Amino acid sequence: MRNARELRRSAPRPEGEAGYTLTEMLVVIGIIGLIAAVLTPGLIGHMARAKAKTAQLQLDTVAAGVEMFEADVHRYPTAEEGLAALVKEPPGADGWTGPYLRDRKMMNDPWGRPLTYTVDAASHTFTVKSLGADGKPGGSGVDRDLQAPAAAQ
């Protein structure tokens, strides 16, 4: 008399109950893994470049907010007020009609670090910067520093 294991092994499968073997499943999983290994670095590179482009657009938006603040208040936000003056009216800002930015999230770059704002009242100029993906001065590619273009005097 055959035992149950031999019966299972030798019994033909009825039509419609055919399945995949473990070897076939492992081959498919291996192929999917290879495809993922080839595509992932390219996708990560695209995501990093997209963040850098987003950061540049964000810097342009914040710089436009600073310019609107200046048009209303007749001065740029001071270094002490910083970019927060674009969201909440600072004391002594007569003519403020903001907010000039939707929310405080705009004051951080896509990597979660605060934007750098500097103002030179003597020359009536300002800069809004992000240190890029690495968060360090300098760099190249997605690590390069980003800055809003200087406004025309």
pLDDT reading at 119 higher than 70: yes
Extended strands (E) in the chain = 116-120, 125-130, 146-147
Angle at the Cα of 70 from the Cα atoms of 65 and 73, rounded to 5 degrees: 120
pLDDT, tens digit, for every residue of 23-74? 888 999 999 998 888 888 777 777 878 888 888 888 998 999 999 988 998 8
State how far the alpha carbon of 82 is from the alpha carbons of 44, 62, 72, 115, 117, in Å: 33, 11, 16, 10, 6
β-bridge partners, 125: 120
- Per the prediction, the chain carries an average pLDDT of 81
pLDDT at residue 21 is higher than 60:
yes
* Rounded CA separation 2/50 (Å): 65
Q: Are 65 and 82 in contact (CB under 8 A)?
A: no
Look at residue 6 and tell me whether its pLDDT is greater than 80.
no
Q: Contact at 8 Å (CB) between 115 and 83?
A: yes
pLDDT score, position 136? 78
Query: Which amino acid appears at position 87 of this protein?
Result: V
For 92, the 3-state DSSP assignment is: coil
> What is the reported pLDDT for 42?
74
Enumerate the β-bridge partners of residue 116.
129
Report the range out of 9-23, 102-116, 126-140 with the highest average pLDDT.
102-116
- Looking at per-residue pLDDT, the higher value among 14 and 30 belongs to 30
What pLDDT sits at residue 5? 59
* pLDDT value for 24: 87
Using CB atoms within 10 A of its CB, is residue 126 exposed (0-12), middle (13-18) or buried (19+)? buried
Q: Which domains does the chain have, with CATH numbers?
A: 52-153 (3.30.700.10)
* Contact between residue 85 and residue 77 where contact means Cβ atoms under 8 Å apart: yes
Q: Does pLDDT of 12 surpass 70?
A: no
pLDDT of 106 over the 80 cut: yes
pLDDT of 1 > 80? The answer is: no
Average pLDDT of span 6-26: 69
| Residue 122, phi then psi, degrees to nearest 5 | -65, -45
